[in-house]
């Protein structure tokens, strides 16, 4: 920058994304800004130093709120910084901002993260560009229903504030036949003879492929923690059940297994080999070519030297390990790019329609509601030939799937056990779809000796010490981590005293989906961790065994005296399971108990439980 | 009872190399504990188990300059060797940010089963070889295994919401208005064109159309010899309209039999 030259106006888009939706929205905002001539940088809040905020001129925040009202993990440290009392009321003076939230109005704590952020930023002296936008999953078109009009308002207001933001004007007429965006990645192809002669291990290959992938999140480890092989595949549900729940056991084939009870393991699923072949053929790619994937140079980034020294990987392997072609659905932008590369007129029209505002609902019915895969979409539009660079950017990344571990390192040394419900559903058009990872696991046999790459990490359930009394609530597959807790405590009890455990389990029918029945019942007998004499108990709710629905929260209420006694004795509450409503139902039941036993109001009881949460004595692992 | 009846036992433990007895005595006196019999263990960061019986000491004093000590495992050991009702003191000598460390230690002792963690300011304690910044004090519950739980602590204790943890942060819930806290309104559909299906008490006729479409299973003839007046049915789901009878089936050529799809994630029928 030479003297006298004013810096170009630019936009900072800070996003806090848990499952990638806020990231999509942030990328969309960035793209729209760039189309109007304003450079934008898109940065996650866990990669941005909050103390630099006062130096920014214009910031757009895109933040998600989860069902329980929580912020994404990537937002927590950033938010904590902003909450500091020591920040002055004018700390962000001169900073213009706008907040867009992604949430679901079906939940009480609707878009709480965005609402609080908007308020706090104003409280710190920053100026709003426009009022906060609240994206809503309940809206027929999802968050995009709100985002589109909100963005138009954002651009026109920003232009009014200073026309220099958009040298091309705030309204951009994009001719449908031009694709003015460029792919964010480029591919380097390598000749066969330039290859290294050493053989790569599976671990090296996975690390190399996933390290190059755009889907790699900042804090992910590309190299698996270890490889597991399946030693047992047992069906837990009995005939007559509508569900198929499996008990899987695994052993390591690489390094030693290290985890604690309550931890989570992530598995990278394999994709159907014929599907991979079909995809590669459909896209006219050479599976045997060797490639390096890296970011394209832009005026901001310059030459990427890293790419020159990176080592290549086979194209087919890259597709297998990092590009989800049979399971995840593409996003709206994929259809937009496809329309440019369609040669058949009717296909081009249809794709442009799907990418437009008018076509959003039809796109939703065709794509998201039917869970269309990339391969299916490409086969439905046979004239489209997309360059590989675009495919790398737009094909959803193959994601590892997380499961709560149901074994204990003490009770089951060198093993990992999982309790998995095989996912299967029927779409509105009556097509049957299956979950990628659960179906693949169900199809494996120990004889095949397939090596599964896995990563271990902490979940929301910290391992309790043996002297901590426990109140465990785990209906359905939620019982999985607690099988580990109880097995562990059982071993610990052999050498020193252990505290009591109350375990509340629920399922539909005693006869068909009473998971691990023998295990729990063995612990209710003399000396067991759930026995009366040890101060604990095992309580079951079979929702469909009688005309009236009975759930775990009803059983908790039945045992209110004992639950209260245990809480007074210092017990911690752990809740796990797959329902979206269950955790709040449990919280309500406990609030009622506290309120009754102390004679205080429901609000006070709620505060009390919030206090327990802050101290780590109320932990919830809820999965969908 | 033996002559040591009045003497309480305390285990003083550190991950450091030395810990002078005089320092232990000074700290314990400052913390309000007189007349006791100290046992000192140094370089304790890798200890698996203390050579002490369960429920044998009255108090544990853990002193450290590092953030990792005492670990979860060692806190568990403290819990084991302490008598019911006994007290643990975790004293730290740390520079800089202490709030995070205070919270971490409080959490650790809570998960190890201790109750009522409190934060103490220890900067004023005068010691010869080192100084302390803060300490966490907590109690081991006084119930015993096998005894019934007649213990009913006063309600006040459980309801004490400890805001000391976040002294330096504003209360984020105060950022919400009354409006925000009300149950949100689900978006009102503006006309039924935007809803995914007809309303329950549909009057515009949309419900009838949708019902017909659902009932329209395909006839054998439609499968063997598919025709399409609109011309789009054969192109696949992407081109079919909402009421198309061929919805869900793969693309086909007019007049040629419709086959089952080769969907790789379809359940085996």
For residue A30, give every residue at least 6 positions away whose Cβ sits within 8 Å of its Cβ, in sequence order, or none.
Answer: A11, A13, A40, A41, A42
d(CA B147, CA A147): 61
Find, among B194, B19, B74, B213, the residue nearest to A365 by Cα.
Answer: B194
Task: Determine the Cα angle at B103 with ends B101 and B104, to 5°.
Answer: 65
d(CA B128, CA A288): 71
Using an 8 Å CB-CB cutoff, list chain A residues near B80.
467, 496
Q: Each residue of B224-237: b (16+ CB within 10 Å) or e?
A: eebeeeeebbbbbb
For residue B263, give every residue at least 6 positions away whose Cβ sits within 8 Å of its Cβ, in sequence order, or none.
Answer: A376, A431
Optimal mutation site among A615, A618, A619, interface B, most CBs of chain B within 10 A: A615
Partnered with residue A502 across adjacent β-strands are: A471, A537
Q: Report how many Cβ contacts below 8 Å link chain A to chain B.
A: 186
- Residue B206: pLDDT band with limits 50, 70, 90: low
Q: Tell me the shortest Cα–Cα distance from A166 to chain B, in angstroms.
A: 33
d(CA A266, CA A452): 10
| Residue B100: per-residue pLDDT | 79
Positions of chain A with pLDDT under 50? 1-2, 4, 218
| Residue B203: per-residue pLDDT | 66
Q: Tell me the shortest Cα–Cα distance from A309 to chain B, in angstroms.
A: 37
Residues in binding site of B: 192, 199, 202, 204, 230, 233, 241, 244
Q: How many CB atoms lie within 10 A of CB A310?
A: 16
Using an 8 Å CB-CB cutoff, list chain A residues near B110.
572, 615-617
Three-class SS state of A602: helix
Three-class SS state of A119: helix
Cβ distance A140 to B237 less than 8 Å, yes or no, reads no
Q: Which H or E run includes A314?
A: strand A313-314
Write out the DSSP string of A359-389: THHHHHHHTTTTT--HHHHHHHSTT----HH
Residues in binding site of B for [4Fe-4S] cluster: 230, 233, 241, 244
Cβ distance B160 to A611 less than 8 Å, yes or no, reads yes
Find, among A393, A396, A363, the residue nearest to A380 by Cα.
Answer: A363
Cβ distance B161 to A611 less than 8 Å, yes or no, reads yes
Distance between alpha carbon B212 and the CA centroid of its chain, in Å? Answer: 50
For residue B206, give every residue at least 6 positions away whose Cβ sits within 8 Å of its Cβ, in sequence order, or none.
Answer: B192, B198
Using an 8 Å CB-CB cutoff, list chain A residues near B50.
none
Asked if A21 and A143 count as a contact pair (C-beta separation under 8 A), the reply is yes
* Pick from A84, A105, A431: CB nearest B169: A84
Contact of B83 with chain A, judged by CB distance below 8 Å, is answered with no
**Phi, psi dihedrals of residue A392, rounded to the nearest 5°:** -60, -40
Partnered with residue B11 across adjacent β-strands are: B39, B60
For residue A239, give every residue at least 6 positions away whose Cβ sits within 8 Å of its Cβ, in sequence order, or none.
Answer: A512
Using an 8 Å CB-CB cutoff, list chain B residues near A528.
none
Task: Determine the Cα angle at A457 with ends A453 and A463, to 5°.
Answer: 135
**Phi, psi dihedrals of residue B41, rounded to the nearest 5°:** -125, 125
Cβ distance A615 to B54 less than 8 Å, yes or no, reads no
| Residue B209: per-residue pLDDT | 62
Find, among A568, A586, A569, the residue nearest to A577 by Cα.
Answer: A586
Whether the per-residue pLDDT at B269 is higher than 50: the answer is no
* Pick from A136, A604, A616: CB nearest B110: A616
d(CA A553, CA A556): 5
β-strand A401-404 against A226-235: which pairing, if any? unpaired
pTM of the model: 0.75
d(CA B242, CA A372): 17
| Residue A347: per-residue pLDDT | 95
Partnered with residue B13 across adjacent β-strands are: B41, B62
* Residue numbers of B between 8 and 47 with CB closer than 8 Å to A: none
Residue A53 burial (CB < 10 Å; 0-12/13-18/19+)? buried
Three-class SS state of A146: helix
d(CA B220, CA B236): 19
- Residue B159: pLDDT band with limits 50, 70, 90: very low
Give chain A's largest Cα–Cα span: 85
- Residue B211: pLDDT band with limits 50, 70, 90: low
Q: Tell me the shortest Cα–Cα distance from A618 to chain B, in angstroms.
A: 11
* Pick from B189, B239, B248: CB nearest A350: B239
Query: Does A239 show up as a binding residue in the annotation?
Result: no
| Residue B88: per-residue pLDDT | 93
| Residue B264: per-residue pLDDT | 64
Find, among A485, A412, A111, the residue nearest to A251 by Cα.
Answer: A412
Tokens, residue B139: 């109690």
Residue of B nearest to A464 (CA): B111
Find, among B233, B240, B237, the residue nearest to B256 by Cα.
Answer: B233
Cβ distance A600 to B248 less than 8 Å, yes or no, reads no
Cβ distance B112 to A598 less than 8 Å, yes or no, reads no
Residue A149 burial (CB < 10 Å; 0-12/13-18/19+)? exposed
| Residue A409: per-residue pLDDT | 96
Q: Tell me the shortest Cα–Cα distance from B247 to chain A, in angstroms.
A: 6
Cβ distance B267 to A424 less than 8 Å, yes or no, reads yes
Tokens, residue A339: 């329309």
* Pick from A365, A499, A617: CB nearest B110: A617
Residue A526 burial (CB < 10 Å; 0-12/13-18/19+)? exposed
The stretch B93-121 carries a mean pLDDT of 82
Q: Tell me the shortest Cα–Cα distance from B23 to chain A, in angstroms.
A: 30
* Residue numbers of B between 209 and 268 with CB closer than 8 Å to A: 235-239, 242, 247-248, 251, 261, 263-267
Sheet holding A313-314, edge to edge: A185-190, A290-295, A313-314
Three-class SS state of B4: helix
Distance between alpha carbon A75 and the CA centroid of its chain, in Å? Answer: 14
Find, among A269, A261, A110, A224, the residue nearest to A621 by Cα.
Answer: A261
Query: Does A479 show up as a binding residue in the annotation?
Result: no
* Residue numbers of B between 151 and 210 with CB closer than 8 Å to A: 151-153, 155, 157-162, 165, 168-170, 172, 175-176, 180, 183-187, 189, 194-196
Using an 8 Å CB-CB cutoff, list chain A residues near B111.
462-465, 468, 572, 616
**Cis peptide before B70, with omega less than 30 degrees from 0?**
yes
Query: Does A19 show up as a binding residue in the annotation?
Result: yes
Q: Each residue of B55-90: b (16+ CB within 10 Å) or e?
A: bebbbbbbbbeeeebbebebbbbbbbbbbeebbbbb
Tokens 């079979």 belong to: A542
Distance between alpha carbon A480 and the CA centroid of its chain, in Å? Answer: 20
> What separation, in Å, do the N-terminal and C-terminal C-alpha atoms of chain B show?
78
Cβ distance B76 to A377 less than 8 Å, yes or no, reads no
Whether the per-residue pLDDT at B143 is higher than 70: the answer is no
Using an 8 Å CB-CB cutoff, list chain B residues near A114.
none
Residues in binding site of B for [2Fe-2S] cluster: 192, 199, 202, 204
pLDDT, tens digit (0-9, with 9 covering 90-100), for A125-170: 999 999 999 999 888 778 888 999 999 999 999 999 999 999 878 8
Q: Tell me the shortest Cα–Cα distance from B216 to chain A, in angstroms.
A: 12
| Residue B22: per-residue pLDDT | 85
Find, among B129, B109, B210, the residue nearest to A617 by Cα.
Answer: B109
d(CA A235, CA A228): 20
Tokens 């002490």 belong to: B52
Q: Which H or E run includes B139?
A: strand B134-139
Alpha helices in A451-581 (DSSP H): 480-492, 517-522, 552-558, 560-568
d(CA A507, CA A541): 7
Residue of A nearest to B100 (CA): A80
Using an 8 Å CB-CB cutoff, list chain B residues near A614.
161-162, 165
Contact of B76 with chain A, judged by CB distance below 8 Å, is answered with yes
Q: Tell me the shortest Cα–Cα distance from B22 to chain A, in angstroms.
A: 32
* Residue numbers of B between 118 and 157 with CB closer than 8 Å to A: 140-141, 143-146, 148-149, 151-153, 155, 157
Query: Does A193 show up as a binding residue in the annotation?
Result: no
Query: Does A123 show up as a binding residue in the annotation?
Result: no
Query: Does A437 show up as a binding residue in the annotation?
Result: yes
Cβ distance B169 to A139 less than 8 Å, yes or no, reads no
Whether the per-residue pLDDT at B194 is higher than 90: the answer is no
| Residue B268: per-residue pLDDT | 43
Cβ distance B172 to A83 less than 8 Å, yes or no, reads yes
């Amino acid at each position: 920058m030479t003297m006298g030259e004013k810096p170009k106006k630019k936009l900072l888009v800070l996003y806090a994304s848990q499952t990638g939706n806020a990231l999509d929205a942030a990328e969309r905002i960035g793209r729209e800004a760039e189309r109007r001539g304003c450079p934008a940088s898109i940065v996650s809040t866990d990669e941005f130093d909050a103390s630099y905020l006062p130096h920014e001129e214009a910031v757009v925040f895109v933040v998600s709120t989860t069902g329980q009202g929580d912020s994404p993990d990537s937002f927590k440290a950033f938010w904590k910084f902003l909450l500091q009392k020591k920040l002055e009321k004018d700390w962000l003076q001169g900073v213009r901002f706008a907040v867009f939230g992604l949430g679901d109005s079906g939940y009480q704590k609707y878009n709480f993260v965005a609402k609080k952020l908007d308020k706090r930023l104003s409280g710190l002296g920053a100026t709003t560009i426009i009022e906060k936008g609240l994206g809503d999953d309940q809206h027929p078109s999802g968050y995009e229903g709100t985002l589109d009009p909100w963005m138009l308002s954002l651009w026109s207001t920003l232009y009014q504030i200073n026309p220099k933001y958009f040298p091309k004007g705030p309204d951009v007429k994009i001719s449908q036949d031009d694709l003015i965006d460029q792919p964010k990645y480029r591919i380097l192809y390598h000749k066969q003879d330039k290859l290294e002669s050493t053989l790569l291990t599976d671990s090296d290959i996975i690390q190399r492929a996933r390290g190059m992938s755009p889907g790699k999140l900042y804090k992910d480890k590309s190299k698996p923690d270890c490889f597991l092989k399946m030693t047992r595949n047992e069906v837990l549900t009995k005939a007559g059940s509508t569900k198929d729940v499996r008990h899987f056991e695994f052993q390591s084939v690489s390094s030693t297994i290290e985890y604690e009870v309550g931890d989570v393991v992530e598995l990278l699923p394999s994709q159907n080999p014929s599907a991979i072949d079909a995809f590669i053929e459909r896209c006219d790619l050479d599976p045997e070519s060797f490639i390096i994937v890296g970011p394209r140079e832009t005026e901001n980034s310059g030459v990427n030297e890293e790419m020159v020294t990176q080592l290549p990987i086979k194209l087919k392997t890259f597709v297998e390990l990092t590009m989800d072609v049979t399971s995840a659905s593409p996003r709206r932008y994929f259809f937009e790019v496809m329309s440019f590369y369609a040669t058949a007129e009717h296909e081009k029209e249809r794709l442009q329609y799907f990418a437009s505002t008018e076509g959003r609902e039809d796109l939703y019915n065709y794509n998201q509601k039917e869970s269309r895969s990339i391969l299916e979409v490409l086969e439905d539009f046979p004239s489209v030939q997309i360059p590989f660079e675009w495919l790398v950017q737009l094909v959803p990344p193959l994601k590892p799937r997380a499961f709560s571990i149901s074994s204990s390192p003490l009770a089951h040394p060198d093993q990992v056990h999982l309790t998995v419900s095989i996912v299967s559903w029927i779409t509105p058009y009556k097509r049957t779809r299956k979950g990628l990872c659960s179906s693949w696991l169900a199809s494996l046999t120990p004889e095949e000796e397939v090596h599964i790459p896995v990563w271990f990490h902490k979940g929301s359930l910290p391992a309790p010490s043996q002297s901590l009394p426990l109140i465990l609530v785990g209906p359905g597959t939620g019982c999985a981590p607690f099988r580990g807790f109880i097995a562990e405590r059982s071993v610990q009890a052999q050498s020193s005293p252990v505290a009591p455990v109350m375990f509340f389990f629920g399922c539909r029918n005693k006869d068909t989906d009473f998971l691990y029945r023998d295990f729990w019942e063995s612990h209710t007998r003399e000396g067991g961790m759930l026995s009366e004499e040890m101060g604990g108990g095992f309580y079951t709710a079979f929702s469909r065994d009688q005309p009236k629905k009975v759930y775990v929260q009803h059983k908790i209420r039945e045992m209110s005296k004992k639950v209260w006694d245990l809480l007074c004795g210092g017990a911690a509450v752990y809740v796990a399971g797959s329902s979206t409503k269950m955790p709040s139902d449990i919280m309500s039941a406990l609030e009622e108990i506290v309120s009754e036993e102390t004679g205080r109001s429901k609000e006070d009881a709620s505060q009390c439980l919030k206090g327990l949460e802050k101290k780590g004595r109320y932990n919830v692992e809820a999965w969908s | 009872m033996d002559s040591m009846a009045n003497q309480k036992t305390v285990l003083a433990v550190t991950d450091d190399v030395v810990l002078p007895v005089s320092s232990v005595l000074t700290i314990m006196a400052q913390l309000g504990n007189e007349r006791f019999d100290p046992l000192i263990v140094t370089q304790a960061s890798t200890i698996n188990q203390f050579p002490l019986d369960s429920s044998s000491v009255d108090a544990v004093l853990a002193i450290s300059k590092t953030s990792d000590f005492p670990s979860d495992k060692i806190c568990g050991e403290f819990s084991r060797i302490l008598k019911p009702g006994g007290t643990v003191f975790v004293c730290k000598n740390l520079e800089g940010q202490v709030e995070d460390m205070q919270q971490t230690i409080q959490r650790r002792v809570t998960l190890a089963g201790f109750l009522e963690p409190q934060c103490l300011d220890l900067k004023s304690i005068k010691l010869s070889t080192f100084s302390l910044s803060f300490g966490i004090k907590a109690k081991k519950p006084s119930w015993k295994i096998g005894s019934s739980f007649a213990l009913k602590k006063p309600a006040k204790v459980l309801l004490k919401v400890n805001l000391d943890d976040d002294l330096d942060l504003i209360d984020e819930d105060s950022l919400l208005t009354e409006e925000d806290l009300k149950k949100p309104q689900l978006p009102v559909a503006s006309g039924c064109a935007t809803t995914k299906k007809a309303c329950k008490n549909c009057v515009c006729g949309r419900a009838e159309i949708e019902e017909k479409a659902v009932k329209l299973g395909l006839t054998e003839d439609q499968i063997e010899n598919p025709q399409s007046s609109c011309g789009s049915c054969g192109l696949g789901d992407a081109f079919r309209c909402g009421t198309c009878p061929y919805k869900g089936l793969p693309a086909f050529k007019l007049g040629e039999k419709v086959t089952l799809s080769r969907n790789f994630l379809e359940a085996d029928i």
